[in-house]
Amino acid sequence: MSSAESSGDGGKWLDAHYDPVAGIYTFSSCVDLADLSGDGENRLVVGDLGSGSSGMKLKVYRGTALMSESTLLDLPAGLVAFFMDLHEPRIPAVAVASGPCIYVYKNLRPYFKFTLPGLEINTLEQDVWQQVKEGQINPLTLKEMLESIRKKADVPLSVRSLSFLSLEPHEMDEFVELLKHQPIKRQTVITCIGTLKKNMADEDGVSCLVIGTESGEVFVLDPEAFIILSKMTLPAVPTIMDVTGQFDVEFRITAVCRNGNIYILRCKMGGLSSHAVGLVRVGKNVVVGCTDETLQGFTQKGKKLWKTVLAAPIVTMASMDLPTRGFQAVLVGLANCEVQLYRDKNLLSTIKTPDVVTSICFGRYGREDGTLIMTTKGGGLMVKILKRTATFDDRDSAPGPPLAQSVRLNVPKKTKLYVDQTLRERESGLAMHRAFQMDLSRLRLAAAKAYVKALESSLTPMSASLAEPLKMNAVVQGLGPSFKLTLNVQNTAACRPVTNLAISFLYDESLYRMRNPYMRIPLLVPGLIYPVETFVECTSDKGISDVIKVFVLHEGRSSPLLTAHINMPVSEGLTLN
């Protein structure tokens, strides 16, 4: 590999390889490093998603060259390398989770296929399909009965019944004739996969497979017989898992679920402000990245330690573990083409990338221990090597208060005035507190009155939204009876566009008439100001004016994101009737 110093990362990384047309489309859960040949050199194992409907493959890279590839039957949900026995030479197997099955490869050849057990079938559903099989009811009656069962039954319908309910009437007969003689099955699919050491914590110790399913269940599989050793049920569907410990001694499974909560086995750990993108364990703590552009740290008991706001949405996360240096951190790939390195809430390093990174894997690759492997949104492959002389600033990574807090202040000596004031506060503390509260209440009242007066008298109102990064101000032009109303709408986000917005006006129809009381807003690019213009005609000859209310909202929703009140001027021209 040829090496060149990278830019934008403080000189800590070497650019070993970058191929923008490698054609790899994957996520961090489908990437792993393992010594698949027993020669001491780790290979890169990738579950390639292909085009999403075809071209799914299991690829193995050695250095920068593609070593082998195998076709996958379905989209991979996760990939792990694990030791399934104690046989020599010590070569790990590769498990690929795809649909309801786990495909195990040994020596890069198909070895075993494990299928998840079927789910409970609704007895009423079985009965109606049996009646169809015996010719007692027709397809139209079957549809009515299945719809009734779906509304009332606790057990969901099978995929066959749901597919039948979505058919047109002329397609039902053919569907029933094709499937009525086949048994009904209800199958779940795998959402995430991990490994758990069985009885030894060694790096090459035998590991069990841990899988999370769409039905909210977590299974622990025996690595040799592939039987279910343990089954746990979660309140929601697990999407990301982290496993630590040993199955025969003590273990802990941390799962982020689709309901926005984190669970440890069957104990709820804590709620998140939004859905999780990634989960990484650092020591005894857990770091979670969320869709609201935040990185949060938790203890094992669920106590939130810290929270930091990032500059862009999180795309992927991975752990950076260097046992030889005793260093652990979190790698976070952002949508602004950056990969940031965090230790606790402190930013240690930033790597600029030519494209958005979709998967990250750090570990031993070949014979280099500190290798960072990334794939990009455009299918590129990027390899970086951590310099052996690279050091990270301990001051930034040290938890706790800043160093300036420990510097002693030069406190002056107590004066006679200070002592007298202290005695006065002790004697008249209650009266001073009451006077302070009275003055504070008067200040709040004055501020509220001034705010209301500003709202009522302003002709160019400005408003900002808390739910969306929006800002709007209004300008009224003209002497009447026809006025031109211009709304300047701006997206104040850093890099996220806003779509599907509309503007609605609320006004007194006996005084005004508008050409466009409801308008759609185009896509708002961050930083640009978009003028939205309309015309207002005064229809009253009494010489009075009123307020026009402006609402910015998402299309199809009733709650406004942004509200502004526009005081219309009195018309100085002839009214339009």
pLDDT tens per residue, range 323-350: 888 888 999 999 999 999 998 888 888 8
Q: Is residue 538 part of a domain?
A: yes
DSSP secondary structure code for residue 403 in this structure: G
Q: Is residue 7 part of a domain?
A: no
Is the confidence at residue 464, as pLDDT, over 70? no
Question: Phi/psi of residue 155, each to 5°?
Answer: -85, 125
pTM here? 0.61
Q: Nearest-CA neighbor of 371 among 358, 353, 386?
A: 386
Looking at residue 334, its pLDDT comes to: 93
Asked whether the beta carbons of 239 and 248 are under 8 A apart, the reply is no
Weakest-pLDDT range from 95-109, 354-368, 393-407, 497-511: 393-407
Question: What three-state secondary structure class fits 18?
Answer: strand
123-171 pLDDT per residue, tens: 888 888 888 888 888 888 888 888 888 887 777 788 888 888 888 888 8
Domain boundary among 159, 180, 201: 180
Question: Phi/psi of residue 575, each to 5°?
Answer: -75, 155
Weakest-pLDDT range from 29-43, 423-437, 552-566: 552-566
Task: Copy the structure tokens of residue 24.
Answer: 């790899």
What's the CATH code of the domain at 559? 2.60.40.1230
Q: Is residue 19 part of a domain?
A: no
Weakest-pLDDT range from 67-71, 147-151, 240-244: 147-151
Looking at residue 273, its pLDDT comes to: 72
359-396 pLDDT per residue, tens: 999 998 888 888 999 999 998 999 999 988 888 765 44
Domain boundary among 162, 180, 198: 180
Asked whether the beta carbons of 46 and 58 are under 8 A apart, the reply is yes
Domain boundary among 164, 180, 196: 180
Task: Copy the structure tokens of residue 206.
Answer: 């035998």
Q: Is residue 482 part of a domain?
A: yes
Q: How many domains does the chain have?
A: 2
Q: Is residue 207 part of a domain?
A: no
Q: Is residue 474 part of a domain?
A: yes
Q: Is residue 211 part of a domain?
A: no
Sign of CA dihedral 236, 241, 242, 243: positive
Asked whether the beta carbons of 288 and 276 are under 8 A apart, the reply is yes
CA distance 84 to 201: 14
Q: Is residue 522 part of a domain?
A: yes
Q: Which helix (H) or strand (E) holds 163?
A: helix 159-165
**Helix 416-427 crosses helix 429-457 at what angle (to 10 degrees)?**
90
Domain containing 492 equals: 470-567
Looking at residue 300, its pLDDT comes to: 78
CA distance 122 to 150: 10
Residue 326 class from Cβ within 10 Å (0-12 exposed, 13-18 middle, 19+ buried)?
exposed
Most confident stretch, 183-187, 235-239, 566-570: 235-239
